[in-house]
Amino acid sequence: MSDTEKPAAPKNFIRAIVEDDLATNKWEGRVHTRFPPEPNGYLHIGHAKSICLNFGLARDYDGKCNLRFDDTNPLKEEVEYVDSIQEDVRWLGFTWDNRFFASDYFERIFECAVKLIEMGKAYVDSLSAEEIRQYRGTLKEPGRNSPFRERGVEENLDLFRRMRAGEFPDGAHVLRAKIDMASPNIVMRDPTLYRIRHAAHHRTGTNWCIYPMYDFTHCLSDSFEGITHSICTLEFENNRELYDWVLDTLGLYHPRQYEFARLNMTHVALSKRKLIKLVESGVVDGWDDPRMPTISGFRRRGYTPESIRDFCERIGVARSANVVDYALLEHCLREDLNARAPRVMGVLRPLKLTIVNYPEDQVEEFEFPYHPEDESQGSRKLPFCRDLWIERTDFMEDAPKKWFRLAPGKEVRLRYAYYVRCVEVVKDASGEVVEVRCEYDPATKGGWSDDGRKVKGTLHWLSARHAAPAEFRLYDHLFPAEGPSDEAEGDGLNLDSLEIVRGYVEPGLAQAEPGWRCQFERTGYFCADTRHSKPGAPVFNRTTGLRDSFAREMQKG
Ligand code: ATP
Ligand code: MG
């Protein structure tokens, strides 16, 4: 093999492990991962990191990846969440090989528990939750054995079966593994395997009133599915010993658990618990509010799946925790949209511009390409007449020296149309400018001049007689840079993070498809809102502005 043919070094430590395992044939050449969300909320951008990692391994190493719903807590789980999770994984561009629910395994998991009891490795404990906590000890002090720890196998089996049969109220008993109350790893101090919970489950209904705990369910589900690399976030590092204990004790097929650092990011909250509060309190317009760091929120905001995958690629996968700058995600988005989004005209805060020397009834058409670097996107013609809309922010009455846009006496270019010079300003009774009157130079047709006369400012515009009204929703960060604090509800949230303005778009966009993405020239990237945009009454979400603070920071070094 020549130097240039050398395979690239693995992109992260998990890929290095997988490549090593493939080289040594550890799993008979198999790579089988899973993404195991609990259906207790919508997925957020942190989950995207785990999705890209797990599905990406399957894709790149000819393996498989399961979608597994970790649905062992009936009180918090709902079908709506199951549906949204599937939609989000698909939208990100991934297809699961199998879809499973941990609840599919309830009978098998129960049998494993019975087996542990028979082996003398599990017992029914009748201490209260509070007592169990007290008996557990601390990092410095070992725990104490429960007085119920030495119950005989028969008594345990009888009690456990009666727990299942519904003879006891919630909290009366739990099933615990019998491991070591003095273990330096607190997870190993006789962890709870089952609890009583008289609650209907979204899939199993009222078939069960005992539910297995996460630590017991997870390793067994991985084992039943033949997972090879069970990848989770670092908080579960201490749980690995229990993962191994359960599978070794039961003598079951044994995947390996690996941990990586979860995604932390400025300006977001990546915890379903916190996000659910915002939804329930009505601070946001649902889980897919365009300010939410959920995958559905990013989608509604106008993010592309490609940009989120690119972001996950760039942040990498490591064991050391860090905080990623939100601006990196926006940078990935702009790169993608810059290459693809059609350029169109929209005036967000309209100001009337009248060309006093333009024939009253004349209408011309000017050709606008959709994309400056992509001819295949084609072009369209936009009407031009005496009455136009320009952006209010493109006019200033008392302009400073370096103002290149419109001001009294100044000449600017109307994009692809003509040069115009401001000759008069009209104000209302309160002194606000309501109209600017201009003269145009017919010799500058197309937006350039033969005599070499230069204008620095180029403005976008719309024919007021033809433009379609539109609503624009402009977003700011909902969360402060460091994320929300834990104390007061809604503490530190930017409640002014949504600004709604009403303006105009070019005629063809009145019928914009919900979800359609574009760049309004000079203004930013937008996406027609999937909930509120209607034919004839389009609503556009600003996905992001045009300025890339991340790229600028990178240049500065
Ligand atoms: P939350 O704290 O938001 O409730 P969770 O970890 O409880 O998240 P799960 O549904 O259990 O949510 O997560 C499914 C998978 O996504 C897990 O494997 C988990 O490790 C991973 N995951 C969750 N949050 C992040 C994150 N911020 N970065 C990377 N992976 C994450
Ligand atoms: Mg969880």
C-alpha angle 497-307-259 in degrees, rounded to nearest 5: 95
Final residue of a structural domain among 173, 191, 213: 213
Average pLDDT value for residue range 270-281 = 93
pLDDT at 1 over 50: no
Q: Tell which of 435, 460, 485 closes a domain.
A: 460
Q: Is residue 442 domain-shared with residue 381, that is, in the same domain?
A: yes
Domain contains 336? yes
> Do 64 and 327 touch, CB atoms closer than 8 A?
no
pLDDT tens, residue by residue, 277-313: 999 999 999 999 999 999 999 999 999 999 999 999 9
One domain for residues 375 and 407: yes
Residue given tokens 């692809």 in the structure block: 416
Structural domain harbouring 480? 266-344+468-557
* 335 and 379 assigned to the same domain: no
Which of 410, 407, 415, 327 is CA-nearest to residue 368?
415
Q: Considering only CA atoms, which of 106, 319, 358 is closest in space to residue 231?
A: 319
Mean pLDDT over 15-38 rounds to 97
Indicate if 359 and 447 belong to the same structural domain: yes
- Provide the β-strand partners of residue 413: 419, 458
Tell whether 539 and 485 lie within a shared domain: yes
Q: Are strands 174-177 and 122-125 parallel, antiparallel or unpaired?
A: antiparallel
**Whose C-alpha lies nearest to ligand 1, atom 29?**
262
178-192, 239-253, 453-467, 474-488: segment of lowest average pLDDT = 474-488
Local structure of residue 7 (DSSP, 8 states): P
Taking the CA of residue 236 as reference, the ligand 1 atom at the shortest distance is 20
Does residue 555 belong to any structural domain of this protein? yes
In whole numbers, what is the pLDDT of the chain averaged over residues?
Answer: 95
Give Cβ neighbours of residue 189 (< 8 Å, ≥ 6 apart). 136, 137, 143, 179, 180, 181, 182, 183
pTM exceeding the 0.85 threshold for the entire prediction = yes
pLDDT of 550 over the 90 cut: no
pLDDT of residue 481: 86
Q: Is residue 76 situated within a structural domain? A: no
Mean of pLDDT values over 535-539: 97
Looking at this protein, which amino acid is placed at residue 165? A
Two structure tokens written together for 413: 């270019």
Q: Residue 46, annotated ligand binder?
A: yes
Does 358 lie in the same domain as 330? no
The C-alpha torsion from 8 through 14 and 17 to 23, rounded to 10°, is -50
Could you read off the pLDDT of 316-331 as tens digits, one per residue? Answer: 999 999 999 999 999 9
The confidence score (pLDDT) of residue 557 equals 53
CA of 230 to the centre of ligand 1 (A): 14
Average pLDDT over residues 173-184: 98
For residue 258, the ligand closest to its alpha carbon is 1
Whether 337 maps to a domain, the answer reads yes
Strands 468-475 and 539-544: parallel
Per-residue pLDDT band at 461 (split at 50, 70, 90) = very high
Distance CA 475, CA 379 (A): 29
Note whether 378 and 274 are same-domain residues.
no
Active-site residues, by number, are: 38, 262, 272
Mutate to test the pocket of ligand 1, among 50, 88, 308, 320 (most ligand atoms within 8 A of CB): 50
Sheet of 419-427: strands edge to edge? 458-459, 411-414, 419-427, 433-441, 350-355, 387-391, 462-463
The model's pLDDT over 100-156, given as tens digits with 9 standing for 90+, comes to 999 999 999 999 999 999 999 999 999 999 999 999 999 999 999 999 999 999 999
Q: Reading across the β-sheet that carries 346-347, which strands appear in turn? A: 343-344, 517-520, 524-528, 539-544, 468-475, 498-505, 346-347
Instruction: Single out the residue in 438, 460, 482 at which a domain terminates.
Output: 460
Please report the atom of ligand 1 found closest to the CA of residue 40. Answer: 10
User: Are 184 and 330 contained in the same domain?
Assistant: no
Which ligand sits closest to the CA of 271? 1
Which CATH number belongs to the domain containing residue 541 in this structure? Answer: 2.40.240.10
Pocket of ligand 1 (CB under 6 A): 36-38, 46-47, 49-50, 232-233, 262-263, 270-273
Could you read off the pLDDT of 417-451 as tens digits, one per residue?
A: 999 999 999 999 999 999 999 999 999 999 988 88
Q: Is residue 224 part of a domain?
A: no
Neighbour count for residue 77 (Cβ, 10 Å): 23
The CATH number given to whatever domain includes residue 189 is: 3.90.800.10
φ, ψ at 102 (rounded to 5°): -55, -30
Residue 80 covered by a domain: no
Cα(46) to centroid of ligand 1, in Å?
7
Q: Do 88 and 296 meet the contact criterion of CB atoms below 8 Å apart?
A: yes
353 and 369 belong to one structural domain? yes
* Parallel, antiparallel or unpaired: strands 433-441 and 350-355: parallel
How many domains, the chain?
3
Same domain, 475 and 547: yes
Residue 3: the pLDDT is: 52
Percent of the chain with pLDDT over 70: 96
- Residues lining ion ligand 2 (Cβ < 5 A) are 38
Residue 117, Cβ neighbours under 10 Å: how many?
Answer: 24
Closest Cα to atom 26, ligand 1: which residue?
46
